Homo-oligomer: A and B are copies of this chain.
């Protein structure tokens, strides 16, 4: 399938030419990269500045996706398209006007929470979940208006169900797996996945070992079997890939992701005090160069070309297009 479009719904790798070359080797057409976790508005601007530097330096390898149709340009030119997302709402602080400002800067999606309670919703590590907040409700509406996708990957269950209902447009869980596969706090129960699909949303299946049955020892067959069961549950139009690859990142980055500035104690997130480090990737998905293994696995398990196209990229393409299409001409 020369014309296969592969869209990875989430990565946070240590970006540079080596990673881009691996992506090209793996046939990745576009990747949705995390722009910020705990960074405030000002800090996120500098993160954007660093990305602009990458676009300037590696223009033969990557390009910014300004409009979703640019994914086709990336495909034709053999470059990797870069799309921006936020894994938390720290960037917009308490200022609703920043939703549109960061949309104008190319931010296509925002998680309402990152593990903890945020100004918008409850994170999946909180013991209680009071649902979407007052600010959260108006932010969801504003995100709908300006074309920014709501992402509930790191959110708690009630908040997620409410966001699915409140959003006028389909939302996503960009990188997680079903709880039936592996009952991690970050994975999602059937009820959430069904509600997500019923409103047109998408689940990006994660290759992050903490989200996999048996972690790094999870086999490709087990992963694809889980994919098939998820497709049965949600429908072929509602499943994609959000690999959650965090390649070549030092431990300090993992500490930032887990602890930000919110705790003086060390929070180990999905890790443990005696095993705090980055987990090892499964051998069949060690880097972006291994996307063809997923395609081979899907084919081996009987998925036809149309289904492979949808799961590998077209579902993401569709949902980003739906989010981008806004009726309000006041926006950028």
Contact = CB atoms under 8 A, between A and B. Distances in A.
Nearest to A42: B42
A4 interface: no
The quantity of this chain's copies bound in the complex is: 2
Nearest to A146: B52
Contact of A97 (B41, B52, B66, B97): B52
Interface in A308-330: 328-330
A105 to B, nearest CB: 6
Contact of A45 (B59, B101, B106, B328): B101
Contact of A104 (B40, B42, B104): B104
A330 B59 contact: yes
Majority DSSP secondary structure for residues of A touching B: helix
A97 B50 contact: yes
A278 interface: no
Most buried by B among A50, A52, A95, A106: A52
Interface in A118-143: none
B41 A330 contact: no
Nearest to A145: B56
Contact of A105 (B50, B53, B96, B104): B104
B101 A332 contact: no
A19 interface: no
Interface string A287-299: 0000000000000
B59 A97 contact: no
A49 B103 CA distance: 12
Interface of A: 40-42, 45-46, 48-50, 52-53, 55-56, 59, 64, 66, 95-98, 100-101, 104-106, 328-332
11 contacts: A45-B95, A45-B98, A45-B101, A49-B100, A52-B101, A52-B331, A55-B331, A56-B330, A59-B329, A104-B106, A105-B105
